Structure 1
Amino acid sequence: MRHRLPSSILREYDIRGTVGRTLNAPDATAIGRAFGSIVRRSGGTRVVVGRDGRLSSLMLEAALVEGLRAAGADVIRIGVGPSPMLYHAERHLEVDGGVQVTGSHNPRDDNGFKMVLGHRPFFGSDIMALAALSEQGEVESGAGGVSDVEMLADYVARLIAGDRLHPLRIGWDAGNGAAGPAIERLVQLLPGEHHLLFTEVDGNFPNHHPDPTEEANLADLKALVAREKLDFGVAFDGDGDRIGAVDGEGRVIAVDQLLAILAEPVLRRQPGAAIVADVKASATLFDRIAELGGRPVMWKSGHSNIKTMMHEVGAPIAGEMSGHIFFGELGGHDDALYAAIQLIRAIGGGGRTLAAMRDAFPDVVATPELRFPVEEARREEVVQEVLARLAADGARVDRTDGARVTTADGWWLLRASNTQSMLTARAEARDQAALDRLIATIDAQLALSGVTRSG
């Protein structure tokens, strides 16, 4: 009954590893046994389970279900679909928890588990407690049942509930991920004209890697938008909770720009509401929220951190630069397909094209996420060293998540990655010369701590 999970798969927000190397069927069974025990000790018995389309997901799901049932939990399987469909099922079925088998946007051979308990994210200390329970062998025993429920039609119907949508011409790139079947069903219910790319679920990801936050992965979508002269295009990651977008001119719309666009109709409905975004987001986003009469809240990166803060401040919408947009009406969960529908509503209701909305944002230049490899033990130490030097220099620093430093040139951020042995940085400025000075400052600060940039 005792099973020690490899420490490398215990991430801040989920459990994730490389199948056949750090994650195997016995691990999945142990995770199911421990999570099922936690559900039962919280007074519940029923767990809904979904999976993405990765080659290893069926095997891992079967092992997970075996463990859940051995703990005495009753399992409801909903099959292949995006993680937001699992969140939908966890909210609307009579269940006590949920697990999605998914590798998200990771490389093909990776896989893992995202968990929800009592309609709240299960992360951080929860995951460490699950691992300790498994290692100690203090798990429940039983003989739970298993059943299958069809959720796709109900999930898609929820996506478009509400007022009729404005007809637009849109490209959709599913990247051969688990959102493909939902997108196929969704566009049949939408007005307008829709062009689909790579909606067949294929865990080999034969066309491009399913991570829409990498611009190289949007090449096919850009070509489609240009060829068909579409209004805009949207793309999704492997489990449908990250969104990417390009406007009618083929320009990438950053996630903080998407959030600014989506916040406008939200704040018309809820004046003065809090809107949460992570520390990597543009200063122009926080300024725009304030201009619209909202209350901008900057918070720590990481989807579980953002979800938790949303609940604390009652925010109707939130986002982070990794492509997640969260909605209060969905219980605070992130759903890239729902974000696409809300983008259609915002464009239709605003009477402007997505390209025009993008042009209305102030001109700034920004880096992508810069990455600095460090030893695991040095991640937090280096950030603290930099903070100490900044304090000695009298710099203007926000310590919400690492160091976000505002200067006359703009701002720069340095933080410890929650998931890798890396420091990550980002900078934004009014022009390239100012951005170059900010980047030089980051490099200089890290050099003083013996760290250099990768790539």
Structure 2
Amino acid sequence: MTGHRFHPSILREYDIRGVFGETLSTDDARAVGRSFGSVVRARGGSRVAVGCDGRLSTPVLEHALVEGLTASGVDVVRIGLGPSPMLYFAATPGSGALAPEVQGGVQVTGSHNPANHNGFKMVLEGAPFFGSDIVDLGRIAEEGAWASGMGRIEDADVATAYVDCLIGALEGIDLSALDSLAIGWDAGNGAAGPLIEALTARLPGRHVLLHASVDGHFPNHHPDPTVESNLSDLRRAVAEGSLDFGLAFDGDGDRIGAVDGKGRVLWADQLLAIFAEEVLREWPKSTVIADVKASSTLFARIAELGGKPLMWKTGHSPIKSKMKETHAPLAGEMSGHIFFADRYFGFDDALYAAVRLIGATVRLGKSVTQLRDEMPEMVATPEFRFAVPRERKVAAVEEVLAALRTDGSTVNDTDGVRVDTPDGWWLLRPSNTEDVLVVRAEAADEGGLARLMAEVDARLAAVGIRRPD
């Protein structure tokens, strides 16, 4: 049987992603369907949900994906346009979204990437499909080791059930307490827009929606709320409308951004600190997970609240897996992915996190602005990402780690190297998805931050790498 070889750049650690018409084609989509369907069949499954975002290339990729799935003998339930979390919801055992249940799910999405990018996110048996799973998918395709059959196709509407579940995050709250709230929502012309419209129509309070129409050109700004410049429209709406706070979402609705009533950005680790205060009231002494890029003040805050802070690897799939292993009710990472197992299913869902933030203002009895005011003021770099040759990416970090250990430095090597010093901390790690190194640092003041970055640059120079200005 003739197989299919993917472009080597598109099989990523957490998903399959490429530039449509260059590294990603409809033939790739069909092969993804054949290969993933074959894995589902090998696990004893027979039914897969398929969702999609609003990118211009999505319809043809979704069509080819479904062709591949059905050719492997898998029945396909098409749930249509929506955010990735809606697909996760549909594919989660026990969610009640689909009957009979599906054994897997595929979302056609380019996530927060530029408009000409696209790809596929997958879940299998309620668990993330990543790492070695994706490597194996490539092997199955190349060998043409596909199951065959004639699967059926049906359409299903899960949007109402999904919004019902989101509203459930406010269970136990007197909804009249939300009547005075005024909130901005920037959908960024991504796939979450129609769901935000449906959700806010059922929420008390005043809601100002920005860029809720789905447009694969992303005409207003890039759909990544973790980049501060993409929050300009939201900040303006909060200021002009005297709103209590604002929420922003990426192209497929699994990353959240936020600004308070003063227009200050609440980064993901600051949001996680708010959520931890609420969750640890219900789950005392439980584990709360954050990735290695998160602020030291977050880990200290979790401990102060009586929780067990756990620093873990960056990436939504590793964090989901660690949550299941440790039974953590809450986790998050700096890329804006927030995960609730407390009263939810443990996958990253920016819309659910948004509703939980609304609820937290009532449960904690403080506004988002007050909660932000109470947080310690630190200074931190943005996430510096710079290209390195593929063969040096991991080796350079290992060489830096060896030198740090020789020097007796305080190092956490969970994911790259994170070094604690009297000034604060700095991080050096290889990206899991690109041939780049990632650097970030945090200190109590600008002088400390400058000293941290000088150390980073010296450590890099010692292994023959110069960080661009």
> Which TM-score band applies after superposition, normalised by the shorter structure?
over 0.9
Q: Aligned letter for 1:376?
A: R
* Residues 366-385 of structure 1 mapped to structure 2, 5 A cutoff: 366-385=380-399
Matches within 5 A, 1:12-51: 12-51=13-52
Partner of residue 275 from structure 2, selected from 256, 262, 281 = 262
Q: Distance in 2 between matches of 1:443 and 1:245?
A: 32
Q: Which residue of 1 aligns with 2:451?
A: 437
**Which amino acid is the alignment partner of residue 51 of structure 1?**
C
The one-letter amino acid paired with 2:238 is V
Structure-2 separation of matches of 1:148 and 1:421? 40
- Percentage identity across aligned positions? 61
Aligned residues of 1:102 and 1:111 also touching (Cα < 8 A): yes
Match of 2:313 in 1: 300
Verify the 8 A CA contact 1:180 1:199 in the aligned structure 2: yes
1:123 aligns with 2:144: no
Residue correspondence of structure 1 range 338-377 to structure 2 within 5 A: 338-377=352-391
Aligned counterparts, 1:398-413, within 5 A: 398-413=412-427
Q: 1:163 is aligned with what amino acid?
A: G
Question: CA contact under 8 A between 1:373 and 1:454: conserved in structure 2?
Answer: no
Q: Which residue matches 1:170?
A: 183
AA aligned opposite 2:41: R
Q: CA deviation at 1:163?
A: 2.6
1:147 partner amino acid = E
Q: Which amino acid aligns with 1:142?
A: G
Measure how far apart 1:448 and its partner are.
Answer: 1.5
Alignment of 1:88-107 (within 5 A): 88-91=89-92, 92=95, 93=98, 94-107=101-114
Unaligned runs of 5+ in 1: none
Deviation at 1:454, TM superposition (A): 3.4
- Residue 57 of structure 1 is matched in structure 2 by 58
- The equivalent residue for 1:156 is 163
Read off the aligned partner of 1:158 and give its amino acid letter.
C
Q: How many residues align?
A: 455
Which residue of the partner structure matches residue 147 of structure 1? 154
Deviation for aligned residue 1:327: 1.2
SS of 1:250's equivalent in the other structure is: coil
Q: Is the 8 A contact 1:372 1:452 kept in 2?
A: no
- The Cα of 1:349 is off from its aligned counterpart by 1.6
Runs of 4+ more than 6 Å apart: none
Contact 1:446–1:452 (CA under 8 A) maintained in structure 2: yes
Q: CA deviation at 1:370?
A: 1.1
Shift of 1:352: 1.4
Question: After superposition, what is the alpha-carbon deviation per residue over 1:315-371, rounded to whole angstroms, capped at 9, x for unaligned?
Answer: 011000000001114332000000000000111222212111111111211111012
SS of 2:427's equivalent?
Answer: strand
Q: Residue by residue, what CA displacement relative to the aligned partner does 1:259-312 show, whole Å, maximum 9, x if unpaired?
A: 000111110001111000000000000000001110101000011010010011
Q: CA–CA distance in 2 between the matches of 1:338 and 1:144?
A: 33
TM-score normalised to structure 2 length: 0.96
Normalising by the residue count of structure 1, what TM-score does the alignment of the two structures yield? 0.99
- Partners in 1 of 2:373 and 2:452 — Cα distance? 25
| Cα distance in 2 for residues equivalent to 1:348 and 1:341 | 11
Q: Which amino acid aligns with 1:366?
A: A
Q: Secondary structure at the match of 1:401?
A: coil
Judge conservation of contact 1:65–1:75 (CA < 8 Å) in 2.
yes
Question: Which residue is equivalent to 1:134?
Answer: 141
Aligned-residue offset at 1:137: 0.7
**Cα offsets for 1:117-151 (capped at 9, x unmatched):** 00000000000001100100111000000000011
> Comparing 364-373 with 104-113, which one deviates more in the overlay?
364-373
**Counterpart-to-counterpart distance in 2, 1:330 and 1:74:** 27
Which secondary structure does the structure 2 equivalent of 1:9 belong to?
Answer: coil
Which residue in the other structure is 1:392 paired with?
406
Secondary structure of 2:9 counterpart: helix
Q: Structure 1 residue 6: deviation in Å?
A: 1.2
Contact residue 119 and residue 331 of structure 1 kept, 8 A: no
Deviation at residue 453 of structure 1 after TM alignment: 2.1
2:117 counterpart residue number: 110
Counterparts of 1:325 and 1:119, CA distance in 2? 17
Q: What is the CA-CA distance between 1:452 and the residue it aligns to?
A: 1.9
In structure 2, the residue corresponding to 1:206 is in which secondary structure?
coil
